[in-house]
Amino acid sequence: MAPVTQSEDTAARYRAYGWDVYEIDGHSFEEIFETFEKAKSATSGKPHFIVSKTLIGKGIPQVCGTNKAHGEAGVRFVPESRTAIGLPDEPFFVSPETKAYFAEHKESLHARYSEWKTAYKNWRGANKDLAAELDAAARKEGSQSAFAHSEV
């Protein structure tokens, strides 16, 4: 077992503060997700504290649980550790589900931006004086410009 560098029971301290405390396996994505959902839907009115217990260098027997997992000492073991945790042998693996999520998100953002551009164009057409004032402020023109003076 690795040497202990801190003896404080942080979970107990936050329980004493009156917080809802969850202790989970930080290597379990399912447990992380379930705990976030539980905390988001809680009705206790208390703040939440999640203790995510992990083991440094997990999956790399040569450095697991030691400070050798930091920096270059652990780098040489990356390929075998990727295999040990079931990742494909490619340097920047992104799952198909993640790619699909962000592709859909990108489309949604483009659609929202397009809607905003239309609304902004309509606003400028209906508010020519305000639009001119906004343009002047953006160019830092005039003493009334919100951007021309710093009140800090």
pLDDT in tens, 95-110: 899 999 999 999 999 9
CA distance linking residue 91 with residue 38, whole number of Å = 34
- Domain membership of residue 3 (yes or no) is no
Q: Which is more confident, 21 or 60?
A: 21
Residues 73 and 144 in one domain: no
- Domain membership of residue 4 (yes or no) is no
Residues 51 and 28 in one domain: yes
Residues 109 and 83 in one domain: no
- Domain membership of residue 2 (yes or no) is no
Residues in the chain, how many?
152
Residues 77 and 128 in one domain: no
User: With 50 as the cut, is the pLDDT of residue 19 above it?
Assistant: yes
Strands 48-53 and 20-25 come out as: parallel
- Domain membership of residue 39 (yes or no) is yes
- Domain membership of residue 64 (yes or no) is yes
Residues 75 and 119 in one domain: no
Angle at 118 between CA 113 and CA 123, to 5 degrees: 120
The answer to whether 34 touches 23, Cβ cutoff 8 Å, is no
For position 104, what pLDDT does the model report? 97
For residue 102 the two structure tokens come to 């962000």
Residues 101 and 84 in one domain: no
pLDDT in tens, 104-132: 999 999 999 999 999 999 999 999 999 99
- Domain membership of residue 77 (yes or no) is yes
Place of tokens 């990727």: 82
Its pTM stands at 0.53
Residue 51 DSSP one-character state: E
Name 148's Cβ contacts closer than 8 Å, sequence gap at least 6: 137, 140, 141, 142
**Alpha-helical regions (H) of the chain:** 10-16, 29-41, 72-75, 78-84, 96-126, 128-138
Q: Which is more confident, 136 or 149?
A: 136
- Domain membership of residue 45 (yes or no) is yes
For position 105, what pLDDT does the model report? 98
Residues 133 and 61 in one domain: no
Total domains in the fold of the chain: 2
For position 39, what pLDDT does the model report? 96
Q: How much is the average pLDDT of 56-78?
A: 81
Residues 34 and 88 in one domain: yes
The closest alpha carbon to 85, from 10, 7, 28, 143, belongs to 28
